[in-house]
């Protein structure tokens, strides 16, 4: 949920934008039973698998798993954040945006920082064009940066003065506190003076996807350290949550892939040469937030870090982050240890794109890295390589892909497929004990009942009161299910009828988003809803009673061993009471 909007106002915006009408403005919908179907806009398909439910006010693609409510759809289609999506829908429905929709002090402070950064970028750009910027212009010329590229990226120069920027901003009436808050100036250790953070550096403004300047990066002109300096974390800028040049990439439609590079100059030069799908990770190891950002714009990600040892290590570290987001990951290693900037200047766009087409799937790359660690000309080396390579297959669910990779391991190591399959299955089995399997099955049945009950509450409002009389959130085993039950219960107690889309809005943008969606996209099948709900409740309550009984029985064993007959008798009475509860579980009226 966005931090700047009142929830009731957001609910009104959502309710006045029927999801079928909104999606129908983007896609050609065809009736299919109670729902509508279309070709999914988020992945390539020939047979429609994109379903829109007018009853639930949610959409779901059975092909790629995309789904959500009308706000989530606008976020995905327009590639905007929650706040901007709500604004677009409010405008569509003719609903005025509250004047005080942002928290006053917070909003004012953020807007002040945006204005400050904008003026700072103008100052740096003017300095680059002035006599002071001659050395910086010559540096950029040596690096092959053209004048149009300087303008496109808003490049600038921070003069070698201790307080040049500070004095300029003060002369325009800007608040020194805001300068400190933005990280543009730094307070001395004594705290009685302040000075410019960036001095004698080529400056790279960092934009968010809405083209607002949120921070800066600076590159020295000489050999002094640090070579690159970024803005510190501020109210606007968090290095691990942004990507350089994403504001440009985000404009593109139907992106085949995003190319991730390390440095500002890598991204700048690739764009100059027409490779307009490159972003830079701001000199940091890839983060989960950056992976999520990229996933909004492309499914395929190509890591193209420097070809030196440090670059290869950084590429390897980034794999897990990207794979955990379900992205298709490839790695491009340029020859002779060169970086993308140097390569594209020397060989041109076409040569770079040929290299991109030869990028290796993440597993092939990982196996190459493993093979370089071990001497696979020896028996021990082949054995170690095969064992480590098999571990990489844990995240692959496609049996055909898994088989192909196992054959690749066989070619590298000489270990037969039969042995590799056996080792893989043995490793998997070792992680799952018989006891663990039994618990997983039990949990699965209980959590399935919890999901079915929540689905009934959201889609059959007349059943909610009956269910709420028989069960509470504490009876649920799964923490997410408890939260959903609490949300719906509170809404029902207020006399509201929360739809699946209403509930989904509480989790928009959170990790639990897909789990919530899966609960409400399932179509329950039952002949008698009262009987079905009763069975779900009984399953949930039996589980809670059984868990409590198991705990008391263990405690009783301890008391029996200790010879504490009085305490044991009290405990046995509690166990008998639980047994009676199990017998008293009845169907709903």
Residue 104, classified by CB atoms within 10 Å of its CB into exposed (0-12), middle (13-18) or buried (19+), is exposed
pLDDT at position 97? 82
Q: What mean pLDDT comes out for the span 201-216?
A: 94
At residue 447, the pLDDT reads 85
What are the residues whose beta carbons fall under 8 Å from the beta carbon of 81, sequence distance 6 or more?
A: 2, 75, 209
Q: What residue ranges do the domains of the chain occupy?
A: 7-93, 104-237, 246-361, 374-430, 436-584
Q: What is the mean pLDDT of residues 38-57?
A: 86
**pLDDT value at residue 1:** 43
Phi first, then psi: give them for residue 219, nearest 5 degrees: -120, 130
Q: Which residue has the higher pLDDT, 171 or 222?
A: 171
Does 47 score more than 50 pLDDT? yes
Q: How far is CA 355 from CA 64, 246, 304, 448, 452, in A?
A: 28, 22, 10, 48, 50
What is the spatial distance between Cα 503 and Cα 505, in angstroms, rounded to a whole number?
A: 5
Contacts of residue 487, defined as CB under 8 A and 6 or more positions apart, other chains included, come to 498, 503, 506
Quick one: pLDDT at residue 105?
54
3-state secondary structure of 359: coil
Q: What is the tens place of the pLDDT at every residue in 396-447?
A: 666 776 787 888 888 888 888 888 888 877 765 554 444 344 434 444 688 8
Which of the listed CATH numbers 1.10.3720.10, 3.90.980.10, 3.90.230.10, 3.40.50.261 matches domain 104-237?
3.90.980.10
246-361 architecture in CATH? 3-Layer(aba) Sandwich (3.40)
Percent of the chain with pLDDT over 70: 91
Beginning with the edge strand found earlier in the chain, give each strand of the sheet holding 50-53 in spatial order: 30-32, 35-38, 50-53, 58-61, 67-68
Sign of the alpha-carbon dihedral angle for 574, 580, 585, 589 = negative
Residue 206 scores a pLDDT above 90: yes
Q: Reply yes or no on whether the pLDDT at 382 is more than 50.
A: yes
As a whole number of angstroms, the distance between CA 479 and CA 473 comes to 9
- Classify strands 258-261 and 278-280 as parallel, antiparallel or unpaired: parallel
Candidate ranges 1-5, 121-125, 174-178; pick with highest mean pLDDT: 121-125
CATH of domain 436-584: 1.10.860.10
Read off the pTM. Answer: 0.64
Give me the mean pLDDT over the 53-76 stretch: 90
pLDDT of residue 432: 42
Residues 306-320: tens digit of each pLDDT: 767 777 778 878 887
Mean pLDDT score, 458-483: 89
pLDDT (average), residues 129-153: 97
Q: Cα 207 vs. chain centroid, distance in angstroms? A: 19
pLDDT at residue 325 in the model: 79
Query: Which ranges of 55-103 does DSSP label H, i.e. alpha helix?
Result: 70-78, 82-93
Q: Do domains 7-93 and 104-237 have the same CATH topology?
A: no
Q: Which CATH superfamily is domain 7-93 in?
A: Zinc finger, CHC2-typedomain (3.90.580.10)
pLDDT of residue 428: 57
| pLDDT-derived band at 268, boundaries 50, 70, 90 | very high
Give yes or no for a contact between 413 and 403, defined as CB atoms under 8 angstroms apart: no
């Amino acid at each position: 949920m966005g931090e700047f909007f009142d929830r009731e106002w957001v609910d009104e915006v959502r309710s006045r934008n029927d999801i079928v009408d909104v999606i129908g403005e983007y896609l050609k919908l065809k009736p299919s039973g109670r729902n509508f179907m279309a070709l999914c806009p988020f992945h390539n398909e020939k047979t429609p698998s994109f379903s829109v439910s007018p009853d639930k006010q949610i959409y779901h693609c059975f092909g790629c798993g995309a789904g959500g409510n009308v706000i989530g759809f606008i976020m995905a289609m327009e590639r905007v954040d929650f706040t901007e999506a709500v604004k677009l829908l409010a405008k569509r429905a003719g609903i005025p945006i509250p004047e005080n929709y942002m928290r006053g002090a917070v909003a004012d402070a953020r807007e002040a920082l945006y204005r400050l950064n904008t003026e700072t970028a103008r100052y740096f750009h003017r300095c680059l064009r002035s006599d002071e910027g001659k050395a910086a212009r010559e540096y950029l010329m040596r690096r092959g940066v053209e004048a149009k590229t300087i303008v496109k990226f808003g490049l600038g120069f921070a003069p070698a003065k201790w307080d040049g920027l500070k004095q300029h901003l003060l002369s325009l009436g800007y608040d020194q506190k805001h300068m400190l808050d933005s990280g543009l100036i730094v307070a001395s250790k004594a705290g009685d003076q302040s000075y410019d953070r960036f001095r004698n550096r080529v400056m790279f403004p960092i934009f968010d996807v809405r083209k607002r300047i949120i921070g800066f990066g600076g590159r020295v002109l000489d050999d002094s350290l640090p070579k690159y300096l970024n803005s510190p974390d501020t109210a606007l800028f968090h290095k691990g949550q942004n990507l350089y040049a994403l504001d440009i990439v985000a404009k593109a439609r139907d992106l085949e892939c995003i190319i991730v590079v390390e440095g500002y100059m890598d991204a700048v030069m690739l764009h100059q040469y027409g490779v307009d799908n490159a972003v830079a990770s701001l000199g940091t190891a890839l983060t989960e937030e950056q992976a999520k950002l990229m996933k909004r714009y492309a499914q395929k990600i190509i890591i193209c870090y420097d070809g030196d040892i440090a670059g290869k290590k950084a590429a390897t570290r980034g794999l897990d982050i990207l794979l955990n987001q379900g992205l298709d990951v490839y790695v491009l290693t340029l020859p002779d240890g060169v970086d993308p900037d140097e390569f594209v200047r020397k060989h041109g766009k076409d040569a770079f794109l040929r290299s991109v087409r030869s990028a290796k799937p993440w597993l092939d790359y990982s196996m190459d890295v493993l093979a370089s660690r071990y001497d696979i000309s020896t028996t021990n080396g082949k054995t170690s390589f095969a064992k480590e390579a098999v571990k990489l297959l844990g995240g692959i669910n496609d049996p055909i892909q898994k088989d192909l990779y196992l054959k690749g391991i066989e070619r590298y190591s000489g270990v037969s497929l039969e042995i590799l399959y056996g080792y893989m299955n043995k490793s998997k089995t070792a992680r799952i004990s018989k006891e663990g399997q039994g618990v997983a099955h039990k949990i699965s049945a209980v959590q399935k009942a919890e999901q079915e009950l929540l689905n009934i509450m959201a889609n059959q409002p007349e059943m909610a009161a009956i269910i709420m009389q028989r069960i509470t959130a504490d009876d649920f085993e799964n923490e997410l299910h408890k939260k959903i039950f609490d949300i719906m219960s509170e809404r029902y107690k207020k006399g509201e009828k929360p739809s699946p889309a209403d509930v989904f809005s509480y989790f928009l943008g959170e990790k639990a988003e897909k789990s919530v969606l899966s609960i409400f996209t399932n179509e329950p099948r039952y002949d008698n809803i009262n009987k079905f709900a009763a069975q779900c409740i009984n399953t949930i309550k039996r589980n809670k009673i059984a868990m409590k009984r198991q705990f008391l029985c263990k405690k009783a064993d301890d008391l029996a061993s200790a010879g504490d007959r009085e305490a044991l008798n009290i405990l046995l009475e509690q166990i008998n009471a639980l047994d009676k509860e199990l017998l008293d579980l009845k169907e709903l009226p």
